[in-house]
Amino acid sequence: MGRINQVIDDKLEAEFREAARKKFGDKKGSLKKAFKEAVEMWIAANKPLQDEKNIQVR
In contact, 31 and 37? CB cutoff 8 Å: no
d(CA 32, CA 30): 5
Confidence (pLDDT) at 57:
55
Q: What type of residue sits at position 15? A: E
d(CA 7, CA 44): 23
In contact, 20 and 30? CB cutoff 8 Å: yes
For the packed helices 30-54 and 10-24, what is the interaxial angle rounded to 10 degrees? 110
For residue 55, is pLDDT > 90?
A: no
Read off the pLDDT of residues 3-34 as tens digits, 9 standing for 90 and up: 999 999 999 999 999 999 999 999 999 999 99
Read off the pLDDT of residues 39-49 as tens digits, 9 standing for 90 and up: 999 999 988 76
Q: Is the pTM of this model over 0.85?
A: no
